[in-house]
Amino acid sequence: MTQAPEQEAPPVPEGHVRLTIDGQTVDAPKGELLIRTCERLGIVVPRFCDHPLLDPAGACRQCLVEVEMGGRPMPKPQASCTMTVADGMVVKTQHTSPVADKAQQGVMELLLINHPLDCPICDKGGECPLQNQAMSSGRAESRFVEEKRHFAKPLPISDEVLLDRERCVLCQRCTRFSEQIAGDPFIELLERGAHQQIGTEETAWGEGEEFQSYFSGNTIQICPVGALTSASYRFRSRPFDLVSTPGQCEHCASGCSTRRDWRRGGVTRVLAGEDPNVNEEWLCDKGRFAFRYPTSPQRVLAPMVRGDDGELVAVSWIEALERAAELLLAARDGSGPGRVLVGDDGVEAEGDPKKGVGVLPGGRLTVEDAYAYGKFARLALRSNDVDHRARVHSDEELDFLAGHVAGVAPGHVSYAHLEAARTVLCVAFDPEEESPIVFLRLRKASRHGTRVVHVGSWTTPAVAKTGGHLVRVAPGDEPAALDDLPDDVATALGEPGAVVLVGERAAEVPGLLTAVAGLGSRTGARVAWVPRRAGERGGVDAGALPTLLPGARLLTDADAREAVAAVWGVPTLPESPGRDVTAMLRAAADGVLAGLVVGGLEPADLPDPALARAALAEADVVVSLEQVFSEVTGYADVVLPVAPAVNRGGTYRNWEGRDRTFATTIDPGQGSSGRVGGTAAITLPDCRVLDSLAVEMDVDLFTQTPAAAAAELAELGTVAVTPSTPRTRPDSEPAGRAPGTVRLATWRQLLDGGALLAQEPDLPGTARPARLRVAAATAERLGLVAGEPARLHAAEQPGRHAEPDPTLAGLDLVVELADLPEDVVWAPSHVPGASGVTTLAALGLHHGGPVRVTGSAAPESGDQQ
Amino acid sequence: MGMFDGIAGFGVTFSTMFKKVVTEEYPLVKKVTAPRYHGRHQLNRHPDGLEKCVGCELCAWACPADAIYVEGGDNTPEARYSPGERYGAIYQINYLRCIGCGLCIEACPTRSLTMTNEYELADDDRQDLIYTKEMLLAPLLPGMEQPPHPMRLGDDEQDYYVQGPEMARQGREQAGEHDLDTDNRAGANVEPGAALVGKGPLAKRGSPEASGATGEGRS
Ligand code: SF4
Ligand code: SF4
Ligand code: FES
């Protein structure tokens, strides 16, 4: 491109400066780093420490360039990653300046002095910036003949991350990540001079604070050399063996983009995908490391039918579908055996036949699958008994979901809104435990001035790391607290852009969701619901709820029913509102409901696990669509295997309402590369299996593929929602407690033995230990000692929902002091242990409910830890 | 028509009778290959029996025919297969694909992979032509120990590379072998196990130690 010299250069735009890089004139926004301007011009400057999401450090000096300011060259080459652009600057990179080139070669030589020559055994080999840049900006020969520095290696930083200090180039990306992004200073620069090294408290002094971070895996991905490697990927393969397929994380509603690298039918690692709108370049450790569950020996690899001997036997798809259809039809129409009634006199009589089938799809579904479950319930089973909420739930929540969540577009509240907001209020939501990438965004926002206020019972790590603003309330008192927020918070919520985030566990506190909706309409703050599981939001929008049809249509609205019926090609839809999860389970346990169709759901996740088990045992027909043999398949008459996320495509809808569409990662049908190794043989998604099952029942769902289901859902569209407060505001229960009890606050931790963590041995080691938290004064009164175990028992009065499981004596947890309100204890809802997961719900304990705590538990009486 | 016309046609036949026979009596008599013939691969061992392969996959990377499959593994204090951190947990060469080019030998950073003179690589079953690590590993010579076992030659892998060649030479001298080939290019074996197979006269193949290395002994 030649420019006529006499032509007047266009004026420099507002807020920009004009400089010259390698002879090219460029306008750059003020404050831009030189290295970014070079990037925009397509000029590659080698670098190690520079990372666009971390603050500049200038630690590695690899990015040296020659700079001339105001006609005077700067005396030494400058680091382009820390220097900002200035007007009239003349920059020469290694491409045009022998000085810069020589400087870069010198730095490279210095970095390689102590770098071992172990590329052949290093996991980074083949994708290593140091390898690449040693080729592009280094000398071919080393002049260093002395002995290199040696360190013991590898050093476990955590169960998942290994450190090789010999390979480190001290760029401090990892330390800056842990300090700036995650906020867990787990890894630090230690020592000085030639001994300078990366380490943890433990590596420095042989002991130290227990390392804990839910984000440690990101350091592996950003380390520009092989100094930080993954324990699970260690030596498993080389980048050139791997097929990299973009994917979507199936673990939570944050909705991260991932990159799945796979080989021989199995995923070898998961990396963060780049999506500036959602996860930026980060991933939590659950999403990064929990990918091996599809290789579980527990996978269901063929359709199974329970034989006369009570054992499940593998059969053909046709046989299994026919059997399931036959059983479900009989159950739906009540033509099965009648219910046995035992009269007062002990005489058995046949009562009304059980009738109807309930559908429990579980919360891990894609939008398409959720849609298929809802349609299956309404057309094939002719009822609205479908509810995907495998967790605490309430009628109030249904109203809230209909009025504030269903059909709301991502433009309402998105990650960008969180970052831009001046104030964010988190209610019944611990972002780090329940939606880790939301946490990272809130932390980023709080570092840039957003005030993140948490309504909760203690200063959790998430509260501390997002600015420490806590409105402390006792569990159950949250609605009152929202009505009576501190003045400054209430005022701040009235400012434009303010956001209220409410977690799924708000359903557990009567009146809380109403209070949140009220707060939203009172202050004008935008309200967003952030559930935990990846399928929760999709289930709401796709109509897998007893009162909602697809596209945010209310079941009670006759026009809406008509519109859906028209698209579905049926005259009418069932009108009467369906039962929710608990009502379905109770009906089945009471012998009213004849059958259950169950998706990926564990009884332990439900508010009353004992009721769920009773229902599954009592129902005449249980059809289970599962990936693995589980508690539910133990009760099932027919088990239909479905594909895990890697072997299928679909769409998850994240908390924002953003569609996260993904294609099949590994298709075992496509050539040998997918078939060898691994156990993946099932590629049918739930929607396809339900479609085939419906055909056997003489109903067409037209959900053979996720694409077909998505197309139909798109055709249905979404109706406009008028935000409405839930119709009824249930009263909070009186806080009357039996003497000797305290109130329990509880929620789930990120890594607590969920089903998708199977087969990953190292991940539990990075989980936060389960602790009982209590204020010092309360501990003293109850006779609890910090660091000593204490035992949680069911209170004398049974909990709101459930009878305690009589086989569980209690749960022993180590006591830790925290800033809880008086007479309140906190414990995680799920406690993984050697013999499986113990849930507080199984003990009959619930958030806001009473609990008895006794100190120094006798160790011999039943080990529940 | 002359009187010798009847036998003139045998001229070629008779003259050939006095020339050197070109017929190969294979398989009754096996052909002696050139010393650097690119035959079946061998995974060599350190003098104490630990494997030289570090599972780096560079051979697989170099292979133009995509014949090699490798998966690395982690040596643990309880189960050590090679000095250092990493070993080749899975190692397979598919002789249906291998074109015998020897690029893998060039790529190997530890001289674990070399080639023998064994050329009998035919079978009637495709699966049998995928040679696994057990089939490719050099036989255990006297003084070697079947891994896994701890490092016997030193405290870390450095010692193996510093002392290893000297120990291997001593081992060879004891065994009466001579290192004919000091220019270690592809196919030239300095490894003790390889020396027996690669350069000895054919009669040596009958010796019990060598049979394992030829692939005949695989079971
Ligand atoms: S461990 Fe990696 S990321 Fe951390 S300072 Fe060293 S080279 Fe940089
Ligand atoms: S000899 Fe050539 S074709 Fe055969 S395995 Fe080695 S690199 Fe591949
Ligand atoms: S990239 Fe500039 S100093 Fe490291």
User: Best of A38, A44, A47 to mutate for ligand 3, by most ligand atoms within 8 A of CB?
Assistant: A47
> Percent of chain A at pLDDT above 90?
73
CB environment A707-733: b (16+ within 10 A), e (fewer): ebbbebbeebebbebeeebbeebbebe
Task: Give the count of alpha carbons within 13 A of A469, CB side only.
Answer: 20
State whether residue A774 is helix, strand or coil.
strand
CB count within 10 Å of CB B183 equals: 6
Please tell me the predicted confidence (pLDDT) of residue A633.
95
Q: What is the DSSP letter of B165?
A: H
Report d(CA A373, CA A362) in Å as an integer: 10
Share the mean pLDDT of chain A.
89
The verdict on a CB contact (< 8 Å) between A120 and B58 is: yes
B212 pLDDT more than 50: no
Please tell me the predicted confidence (pLDDT) of residue A199.
81
How do residues A86-144 score in pLDDT, each as one tens digit? 999 999 999 999 999 999 999 999 999 999 988 999 999 999 999 999 999 988 888 88
Tell me if A723 sits within 8 A of A739, measured CB to CB. Answer: no
Query: Which residues sit with their C-beta closer than 6 Å to ligand 3?
Result: A 47-50, 58-63, 79, 81
Confidence band (pLDDT; 50, 70, 90) for A30?
very high
pTM (predicted TM-score) = 0.88
Residue type, A208: G
Which ligand has the shortest distance to the CA of B59?
A: 2
How do residues B104-146 score in pLDDT, each as one tens digit? 999 999 999 999 999 999 999 999 999 999 999 999 998 899 9
| Positive or negative: CA dihedral A159, A161, A167, A170 | negative
What six digits make up the tokens of A655? 């908390």
| B10 in A contact zone (CB under 8 Å) | no
Task: Give the count of alpha carbons within 13 A of A536, CB side only.
Answer: 28
In this structure, what are the phi and psi dihedrals at residue A563, rounded to the nearest 5 degrees? -60, -45
Length of chain B, please? 219
Tell me if A163 sits within 8 A of A154, measured CB to CB. Answer: yes
Confidence band (pLDDT; 50, 70, 90) for A760?
confident
Please tell me the predicted confidence (pLDDT) of residue A207.
66
Please tell me the predicted confidence (pLDDT) of residue A592.
92
Q: How far is CA A214 from the centre of its chain?
A: 11
Tell me if A225 sits within 8 A of A259, measured CB to CB. Answer: no
Confidence band (pLDDT; 50, 70, 90) for B187?
very low
Please tell me the predicted confidence (pLDDT) of residue A347.
60
What six digits make up the tokens of A373? 């479950």
CB count within 10 Å of CB A179 equals: 17
Worst-scoring range by mean pLDDT, A774-783, A823-832, B161-170?
B161-170
Could you tell me the fold of the domain covering B40-205+213-218? Alpha-Beta Plaits (3.30.70)
Report d(CA A22, CA A34) in Å as an integer: 12
From the list A703, A385, A691, the residue with the least C-alpha distance to A543 is A385
> Which position has the token pair 């939001």?
A537
Please tell me the predicted confidence (pLDDT) of residue A274.
94
Tell me if A262 sits within 8 A of A243, measured CB to CB. Answer: yes
State whether residue A502 is helix, strand or coil.
strand
CA of A730: how far to CAs of A512, A515, B1, in Å?
A: 9, 10, 129
Residues 6+ apart with CB under 8 A from A184: A178, A212, A213, A215, A216, A461, A465
Report d(CA A223, CA A239) in Å as an integer: 16
Nearest residue on chain A to B57, alpha-carbon basis: A238
Q: How far is CA A255 from the centre of its chain?
A: 7
Provide the pairing of β-strand A312-314 with A304-306.
Answer: antiparallel
In this structure, what are the phi and psi dihedrals at residue B189, rounded to the nearest 5 degrees? -110, 125
Mutate to test the interface with B, among A118, A234, A235 (most CBs of B within 10 A): A235
Confidence band (pLDDT; 50, 70, 90) for A384?
very high
Please tell me the predicted confidence (pLDDT) of residue A745.
95
How do residues B69-88 score in pLDDT, each as one tens digit? 999 999 998 999 999 999 99
What's the gap in Å between B83 CA and the centre of ligand 1? 26
Mean pLDDT for the stretch of residues A424-444: 96
Residues 6+ apart with CB under 8 A from A833: A863, A864, A865
Worst-scoring range by mean pLDDT, A308-312, B41-45, B135-139, B152-156?
B152-156
Report d(CA A469, CA A445) in Å as an integer: 14
From the list A513, A472, A438, A546, the residue with the least C-alpha distance to A726 is A513
B63 pLDDT more than 80: yes
B178 pLDDT more than 80: no
Q: Model ipTM?
A: 0.82
Please tell me the predicted confidence (pLDDT) of residue A56.
95
Mean pLDDT for the stretch of residues A803-829: 84
Tell me if A59 sits within 8 A of A70, measured CB to CB. Answer: no
Confidence band (pLDDT; 50, 70, 90) for B200?
very low
How do residues A367-383 score in pLDDT, each as one tens digit? 999 999 999 999 999 99
What six digits make up the tokens of A421? 């907001």
> Which position has the token pair 């074109």?
B99
- Min Cα–Cα distance to chain B from A60, Å: 28
List beta partners, residue A257.
A248
A709 pLDDT more than 90: yes
Confidence band (pLDDT; 50, 70, 90) for B13?
confident
- Min Cα–Cα distance to chain A from B184, Å: 21
State whether residue A819 is helix, strand or coil.
coil
The verdict on a CB contact (< 8 Å) between B86 and A153 is: no
Atom of ligand 3 nearest to the CA of A171: 4
A851 pLDDT more than 60: yes
Return the CA Rg of chain A.
30
Report d(CA B114, CA B190) in Å as an integer: 9
Tell me if B141 sits within 8 A of B171, measured CB to CB. Answer: yes
Residue type, A165: R
How do residues A317-358 score in pLDDT, each as one tens digit? 999 999 999 999 999 998 765 555 555 666 665 667 789 999
What six digits make up the tokens of A385? 């008994």
Please tell me the predicted confidence (pLDDT) of residue A337.
59
